[in-house]
Amino acid sequence: MDASWFDGHDPPPRLGIDTCIHCGLCLTACPTYRTLKIEPDSPRGRVYLMRGLADGSLEPDATLVHHLDQCLDCRACETACPAGVPYSRMLEATRGQLARRVRRSSPARLLGGFVLSHVLPHPGRVAFAADLLRLGQSAPMRALLASPGVEPLLPEFAKRGLATAPPIPPRHERALERVYASLPHGSRMERANGVLVVSPPGPPRARVGFHASCVMEAMFSHTHRETVRLLGLAGAEVRLPDAQTCCGAMHAHDGRRDEAKALARTNVRAFADGCELVVSHSAGCGAALREAAHLLDDETAARAFSDRVRDVSEVLEELGLPAPTRTLHAAHDPSRPLRIAYHDPCHLAHAQKVREAPRRLLRTLPGVELVDLPNSDWCCGSAGTYHLTHPAMADEQLRLKLDAIERAAPEVVIASNPGCLLHMQRGLAARGMAVRIAHLVDVLGEAHPAPGAAAAR
């Protein structure tokens, strides 16, 4: 046997590679295999490739790298696997080795790397990037970008990114502090020792840390505020430490393991004190936060942190919201129920194993008819930055998701992950489908509207 191609810096676990029993149950769960029917583009095939690198029998040529890069890292194979192969951990560690040691470059990868390393970990830069995106959405700038002299110069990933982004409000309208006006009478909001604390009117039923999620904060500021409001309505004291940072999910997916570890350590420290749980409203972020213990080799503080991470649906269900004060209904016919379909984000269903809590919350809402979405846990194709770097495969997965939505015929589709929201909204608009895409928190908030402005302190 030849020496392993992997070096000693954070290689994939050999035990994980050897756990695969080659049964093939993962094949039909895999979006790339369902599309291409090619063994190297299946989880089993990629495990073979990783084993070849570990044994030294394979070198990372362009073909091998292509097959590993084409994985969406959706983790559906882990749900299907009877042997418990830690596929995502193996893949991301392998990508980490490739990122350090194999030269790979493209405009999308270079720009994505810059954003991951120099923008997302810094809240001020994220806010500035959102300001620039808002500028790009202005009528004069849209006209300029669409002009014959400029449009041909834009790379396809840039056009796609601009088409995917939602309308960005002005910075002052994105501020989380605006939630204060919608809090119940007697609520308090104060900043002390680098932590923004939002307290309910009475004694808190729980003290929870809220991981802000850089993408949610920049692009879905209303959902961001509604999350804090609903947690308060359920009786939670919500704490947002200034020291928190990006979850590192996209860094890990891209093989930037050292950066992901540094971000994980920052978040572990930021949420070390003052909260019983750490709440996420983004499926990808929540999965990354729960993986902090593994990423940091089960350090004691990291394990304690990961064990406290919960999706917002779990916390709202556990604490209990008051009875809804508004009955929902179809937009154009108040006599009919509002048909809602629930899409399972990959990193909520497969990574965090959270499937039923969101559905149970939706079933509590008067006037809602929850309809089944065929293959609800199939990946929509967004997969972080994947829809920018692999647009053809991403669009094929999106086509299948839109076909399923057409069959279910809902008025609203719930997707509690920013990537899913953006990717599916672009697809729905392009197909001309009159279906609204919304976060779970948004619909819960509509059934629990704010009673009025909080009294001034």
Question: Do 70 and 128 lie in a common domain?
Answer: no
Query: End of a domain among 69, 101, 133?
Result: 101
Query: End of a domain among 78, 101, 124?
Result: 101
Query: End of a domain among 75, 101, 127?
Result: 101
Question: Do 96 and 112 lie in a common domain?
Answer: no
CA 86 to chain CA centroid, nearest Å: 20
Q: Could you give the CA distance from residue 94 to residue 150 in angstroms, rounded to a whole number?
A: 39
Burial of 409 (0-12, 13-18, 19+ CB in 10 A): exposed
Residue 357 lies in a domain: yes
**Does position 448 have pLDDT exceeding 80, yes or no?**
yes
Residue 333 lies in a domain: no
Four-CA torsion 321, 444, 328, 186, nearest 10 degrees: 60
Q: Which tens digits make up the pLDDT trace of 351-390?
A: 999 999 999 999 999 999 999 999 999 999 999 989 989 9
Question: Do 239 and 373 lie in a common domain?
Answer: no
**Does position 196 have pLDDT exceeding 70, yes or no?**
yes
Mean pLDDT of 281-297: 96
Residue 435 lies in a domain: yes
Confidence band, pLDDT 50/70/90 cuts, at residue 205: very high
Residue 308 lies in a domain: yes
The pLDDT of residue 454:
42
CB 312 within 8 A of CB 275: no
Buried b (16+ CB within 10 A) or exposed e, 86-119: bbbbbbbbbbbbbbeeeeeeeebbebbbeebeeb
The pLDDT of residue 84:
96
Residue 55 lies in a domain: yes
Q: Which tens digits make up the pLDDT trace of 390-431?
A: 999 999 999 999 999 999 999 999 999 999 999 999 999 999
The pLDDT of residue 73:
97
The one-letter code for the residue type at 80 is A
The pLDDT of residue 453:
39
- Mean pLDDT score of the chain: 93
Question: Do 145 and 185 lie in a common domain?
Answer: no
Q: Which residue has the higher pLDDT, 353 or 215?
A: 353
Question: Do 314 and 179 lie in a common domain?
Answer: yes
Tokens of 301: 């503080």
The pLDDT of residue 157:
81
Domain with residue 20: its CATH number is 1.10.1060.10
Q: Which domain holds residue 114?
A: 107-164
Question: Do 350 and 423 lie in a common domain?
Answer: yes
Angle at 351 between CA 98 and CA 272, to 5 degrees: 90
The pLDDT of residue 456:
33
The pLDDT of residue 455:
37
Pairing of strands 236-241, 188-192: unpaired
Question: Do 177 and 289 lie in a common domain?
Answer: yes
Residue 75 lies in a domain: yes
Q: Which tens digits make up the pLDDT trace of 249-286?
A: 999 999 999 999 999 999 999 999 889 999 999 999 99
Four-CA torsion 391, 32, 96, 300, nearest 10 degrees: 110
Residue 4 lies in a domain: no
Confidence band, pLDDT 50/70/90 cuts, at residue 164: confident
The pLDDT of residue 457:
32
Instruction: Name the residue with tokens 């499937």.
Output: 355
Confidence band, pLDDT 50/70/90 cuts, at residue 319: very high
Domain with residue 395: its CATH number is 3.40.50
Question: Do 209 and 314 lie in a common domain?
Answer: yes
Question: Do 266 and 372 lie in a common domain?
Answer: no
The pLDDT > 90 percentage for the chain reads 81
The pLDDT of residue 11:
94
Question: Do 82 and 116 lie in a common domain?
Answer: no
Question: Do 355 and 412 lie in a common domain?
Answer: yes
Tally of structural domains, the chain? 4
Q: Which tens digits make up the pLDDT trace of 50-63?
A: 999 999 999 999 99
Nearest Cα neighbor of 301 from 261, 272, 262 is 272
What DSSP string describes 154-205?
S-HHHHHHHHHSPPPPPHHHH-GGGGGGGSPTT-EEEEETTEEEEE-SSS-S
Mean pLDDT of 211-231: 93
Q: What is the pTM of this model?
A: 0.92
Q: Which tens digits make up the pLDDT trace of 76-115?
A: 999 999 999 999 999 999 999 999 999 877 777 888 888 8
Nearest Cα neighbor of 365 from 337, 335, 331 is 337
Confidence band, pLDDT 50/70/90 cuts, at residue 452: low
Q: Which tens digits make up the pLDDT trace of 121-147?
A: 999 999 999 999 999 889 998 899 889
Helix (H, G, I), strand (E, B) or coil at 53: helix
Residue 457 lies in a domain: no
Question: Do 90 and 157 lie in a common domain?
Answer: no
